[in-house]
Each structure stands twice: as structure tokens, then as C-alpha cells.
Amino acid sequence: MEEEIGSEAHRETGSTKRQDPSLTHASPLFRTQAKEPSSRILRRKVAMQIMTRSVVIACLLPLLGVLSFAATISKTGTFGTPEDTETLTLTLTSTGDVTLQTYGFGGGTNAAGTLISAGGFDPFVGLFSGTGSSATLINGTSDVLSNYTSGCPPAGTVTVGGLKNQCGDVTLQFNGLPAGIYTVLLTDGEYIPNAVFETPAGQLGDGFTDLTAGVFQTCEDANNCNTDSGAWALDITTAAGSPAAEPGDTAVLLLSGLVLVLGRFGERLRK
């Protein structure tokens, strides 16, 4: 390239003009101006990318505390006995909403896109403030309690004895919960935490009332019962920057998206 530029300079000047010595290809000054070392250009680009990404991250990170977004995690499992329990720890990083939705009894498609088969037990679902035995009940329900909130739809219905279109799944909504740590409890609908019956609200460590007679069953009456399996399915949806600690972290998803965007921006700079 340098030789071509030098030759072109000779052609343009012709024989009637004197060429500036500072512009000859032999001149160190000309070589420096014509082509900067590639290593220096690369270092400059890398420095610009790092500075740009740092500025963008510094501007966006404070917004994590005020952005409103939702995330749902889906859990499934199988109990061996009606006296088994499932607890999940939930952490809200800011004031937000929580929705609990079951699918094990009537089936349906959960938030993960998994088709849940009907035939599991009708569950109790509740939310406690705190963790461990001292966690305090906020609210909980099953289809044998007077405060039952139907989960159908989105869950499906089944025939129990001679009764058609029976719903045994639960939708439980909590709005404006303060930031903190919570415990989600899932049990058989007739294996009920005593905290439900206590005033003021009891604690997770207060034990359970067992109405199951040791079997998974849903009955129309004493002579007409469905034998259920131990399968259960639960979706937990959190909003307003409140990730579920065990199954998934919404903040991590947001930051991952940010890194992806910045990575693609960096690729464009390199081009």
C-alpha cells in the first residue's frame, strides 16, 4: 500500500513539480500518518468498548430496584403419602405480588409449557411470612375450607363420583407484599396446617390436622370416591422485581439480557 501511494504521488506531481520530501514513502513521518499499527487500533477499540459498557451498566443498574416485571417458576412432584409436605422459599426484593396456581388435580398446561395430567390429589396451598417453624401464615386454602378460591381455569375439572366439572385446584393471589422472605406450603387438601384455624394467625411449626385417613381420595360422599395419585404441580408467579429464590431469579434473567445486548453492541463496534 505504501509503495502504491508513493507511486501515485510521483504520477500526480509529474516532472514539472518538486515533490515535498516529507511526503515520500521513505519519510518516517509519512509512514506514521499513513498507517497506524493494528495493535494500537485494537487496543483503542477495546478501551472504547469497555468504557461504553461501563457507562451503560452504571446507568441501568439503579433501575433494577424500580423496574416492574414478572417471573413464573413451575414445580412438580409426587408425594408418597397424604401426610407429605412441600415447602419452597420465596424472596421478594421489593414490594410485589405473588400468585400461587396448582394443576395436579384437574391438569392443564403450566407456565413452563408442560402438559400436566389430571388425576393428582386436590391440594392445600398457603403462604407464610418468614421461614422455618416460626413462619407465620398469611393465607392458605383447599377445596375443603370455607375460603376456597377455585383454580379452574386455568386448571381443568374432573368428574367426582356422579358430579361433573369438579375443581380441586387452587388459585391464591397476594398483592402488595413487602420485601422479605416467605415460605410456600403445599400439602394434600385434607392435611391442613393448624395455623389456618388459629387466631391470630398461627405458625408453620404448629402442626397439621389430618383428615386424609391415610389415602389420596376425593369423594362425592362416603360411597363415591375417586382414588387420586400423589402427583402435584404448582406455579409461583412473582412481580415487581421479586424473584423466587429456589427455582429462578428474575434479576439474573434481566442482567443476562443486558449482557447479551452489550455483547452484540460490542460485536458491532468490532466490525
Q: Per-residue confidence at 18, pLDDT binned at 50, 70, 90?
A: very low
Q: What range does the domain containing 226 cover? A: 69-248
Predicted TM-score (pTM) of the model is: 0.66
Residue 250 phi/psi, 5° resolution? -60, -40
pLDDT at 255 > cutoff 60: no
The residues, any chain, with a CB within 8 Å of residue 231's CB and separated by 6 or more, are: 76, 77, 78, 79, 104, 117, 119, 120, 121
Same domain, 108 and 218: yes
More confident residue, 196 or 57: 196
The residues, any chain, with a CB within 8 Å of residue 225's CB and separated by 6 or more, are: 160, 161, 217, 218, 219
Dump pLDDT digits (tens) for 210-223. Answer: 999 999 999 989 88
Closest to 182 measured CA to CA, from 230, 140, 232, 229: 140
In a domain, 256, yes or no: no
Same domain, 190 and 73: yes
* Range from 73-87, 103-117, 134-148, 211-225 carrying the lowest mean pLDDT: 211-225
Same domain, 11 and 83: no
* Range from 129-133, 209-213, 236-240, 261-265 carrying the lowest mean pLDDT: 261-265
Residue 195 phi/psi, 5° resolution? -55, -25
pLDDT at 10 > cutoff 50: no
Q: Per-residue confidence at 237, pLDDT binned at 50, 70, 90?
A: very high
**Angle, alpha carbons 140-146-147 (nearest 5°):** 40
In a domain, 210, yes or no: yes
Q: Long-range contacts of range 33-38, CB-CB < 8 Å, 24 or more positions apart? A: 34/1, 34/2, 34/5, 35/1, 35/2
pLDDT at position 64: 41
The amino acid that residue 178 corresponds to is: P
pLDDT at 269 > cutoff 90: no
The residues, any chain, with a CB within 8 Å of residue 250's CB and separated by 6 or more, are: 69, 70, 71, 238, 241, 242, 243
Taking the C-alpha atoms of residue 133 and residue 193, their distance in angstroms, rounded to an integer, is 12
Same domain, 27 and 77: no
In a domain, 264, yes or no: no
Average pLDDT over residues 193-211: 96
Same domain, 20 and 85: no
Same domain, 102 and 190: yes
DSSP-derived pairing of the beta strands 163-166 and 231-239: unpaired
pLDDT at position 244: 47
In a domain, 197, yes or no: yes
Dump pLDDT digits (tens) for 41-53. Answer: 666 665 666 665 6
pLDDT at position 153: 96
Q: What are the E-state strand segments in the chain?
A: 70-78, 85-92, 96-102, 108-109, 115-116, 123-129, 136-141, 158-160, 163-166, 171-177, 180-188, 191-193, 208-210, 217-221, 224-227, 231-239
Do 65 and 254 contact (CB within 8 A), yes or no?
A: no
In a domain, 206, yes or no: yes
The residues, any chain, with a CB within 8 Å of residue 54's CB and separated by 6 or more, are: none
What is the overall mean pLDDT for the chain?
78
Same domain, 10 and 102: no
pLDDT at position 232: 98
Same domain, 102 and 221: yes
Same domain, 10 and 89: no
In a domain, 91, yes or no: yes
Q: How many domains does the structure of the chain reveal? A: 2
The amino acid that residue 157 corresponds to is: T
Q: Per-residue confidence at 58, pLDDT binned at 50, 70, 90?
A: low
Taking the C-alpha atoms of residue 109 and residue 103, their distance in angstroms, rounded to an integer, is 8
